[in-house]
Amino acid sequence: MNNAQSTTLASRRLLIWGILIVVLMAAVVGFVITLPRIAPQFVIAHSPWIWPVLQAEAYKTEGKEPDLSDQKEWVERLNLVDRLMNEENWEQAAIPVLTRALDHPDLRMRRTAASALSTLLTHNNGRTPVIQNGELVTRLRRLLDDPDADVFTHAFRFLLHHEDSASAQAILDYLPRACGVVPNGRKIPLDGTIYIFFGTVGEPHPLRHLRLADVVDQAQRWLATSDPDLTRLALMALGFSDDPQALPLLDAHLGKHLEQEEYWVGWDPAGYALSLNTQPGVIELLKSALADADPVRRRSAAGALIGRDEIGQIDESISLARASIDDSDGEVRKQVAMALASFPLKQTLPDLCHLITRGGEPAVAAINRVRSNRMFLHRNRPWWGRGDIGPAVNADTPRKLGA
């Protein structure tokens, strides 16, 4: 074999080995790329890199957002959050990856990244330095225009805890969508989301940190539309505003927007907003409304007393309710019964017995309705406190108590 043939043979062998190496590398790369799809749990448990972990979490959902009300899936999402936070210099390592994932064309990746961030914030009580990353927050604001409801919801939840003027304005601009309101002529029915969002009990509400003037200005714009859903939203937002301008607006709308939908019939968003408002002027406003000649305003004002023990002003609220205990309108008396039933039993028991004796079954039904609702809202403490009344009151309760 001459030198030319030897050189040609060596070149062929080198080419074959090169091809084999390229094929092998392609196979390895392909396997690594597809591993998050075919073995997501393995990747989540063992991958030293964050991006494959996010991919595995995304592919594991099979295109659907995990049901975080399910304990197992909630724990898995918290495991992802813990994994991110356990990284050395985790903010520098995880935030660029999460930021990149927020712009990913795959919806599952956007959902997973946004969900991880909102869970991270909730799980860590908002103390994580992640909210200081300007680029990340900017991208999350852009996600408020994402057509996917889950991506939007997680971005919105995150921004609720980010206290800067741009995020605050974004919250107000997108609050209708967050509460199920679509004010563009193609409305969807307003569901329980709005009540859950505004009905947070026992913790500071996210709207509290917004600039008061911004909340009032936005509420006035919504009220000017005459849209019933936006009107409801505006009134409830004013309930969380400590701006003195909020009270005249709520007073002007008290009793004018009663719900007509089943279950919520007679419910007044302005009255509910007043029941949440902590300004001292609310008591004088309700006192004036309870003396109004219009029974509808008196009814809404009495309803606004329900549950005010959650924000203090118990003695003042009980005094107002007692002043209307013999109102000439039966519906007002029913609201008064519900208000008194929402306060500590040891302070209102004689009043409740008086209402039961005078009002009979309607008063009993009103009292038990509030009792059952408040047991649902306050599962961690018995509503009756130290009282000795059983699971429900009835027309015979005053006699049993010797009242």
Task: Give yes or no for residue 178 having a pLDDT over 90.
Answer: no
In a domain, 365, yes or no: yes
Q: Is pLDDT above 60 for 1? A: no
Q: How confident is the model at residue 70 (pLDDT cuts 50, 70, 90)?
A: very low
Higher-scoring residue by pLDDT: 275, 346: 275
Task: Tell whether 81 is covered by a domain.
Answer: no
Neighbours of 188 (CB within 10 A): 9
Query: Taking residues 350-362, what's their average pLDDT?
Result: 69
- Cα 28 to chain center, whole Å? 45
Number of domains in the chain: 1
Query: How many other CB atoms are found less than 10 A from the CB of residue 230?
Result: 20
Predicted TM-score (pTM) of the model is: 0.62
Residue with tokens 């994402």: 146
Residue 398, amino acid: P
pLDDT of 166 reads 75
Q: How far apart are CA 56 and CA 38, in angstroms?
A: 9
- Name which of 11-15, 191-195, 356-360 the model is least confident about: 191-195
Alpha carbons 264 and 283: distance in angstroms, whole number: 25
Residue 361 belongs to what domain range?
Answer: 280-403
Q: Give per-residue pLDDT as tens, 209-243.
A: 566 667 788 888 888 888 887 888 888 888 877 78
In a domain, 379, yes or no: yes
List % helix, strand, coil for the chain (3-state, nearest 5): 65, 0, 35
CA dihedral 29, 31, 36, 38 (to 10 degrees): 160
Residue 376 forms part of a structural domain: yes
CATH number at residue 343: 1.25.40
Tell me the C-alpha distance between 368 and 353, whole Å.
13
Residue 182 reports pLDDT greater than 60: no
The arithmetic mean of pLDDT across residues 376-400, rounded, is 43
pLDDT in tens, 94-119: 778 888 888 888 888 888 888 888 77
**Six-digit token pair at 4?**
């030319």
Q: Does any domain span residue 306?
A: yes
Residue 248 has what pLDDT? Answer: 93
What pLDDT does residue 322 have?
86
pLDDT above 60 (res 74): no
323, part of any domain? yes
Residue range 151-174: average pLDDT? Answer: 77
**Across the chain, what does the average pLDDT equal?**
70
pLDDT at 262: 47
pLDDT score for 184: 44
pLDDT band, residue 188 (cuts 50/70/90): very low
Let me know if residue 75 belongs to a domain: no
Q: Residue 273: which pLDDT band, with cuts at 50, 70 and 90?
A: confident
Q: How confident is the model at residue 396 (pLDDT cuts 50, 70, 90)?
A: low
Residue 206 lies in a domain: no
Distance CA 83, CA 119 (A): 13
pLDDT: which is higher, 398 or 151: 151
Q: Which of 342-346, 388-392, 398-402 has the highest mean pLDDT?
A: 342-346
pLDDT tens for each residue of 241-253: 778 888 999 999 9
Position 284 scores a pLDDT of 92
Residue 43 reports pLDDT greater than 60: yes
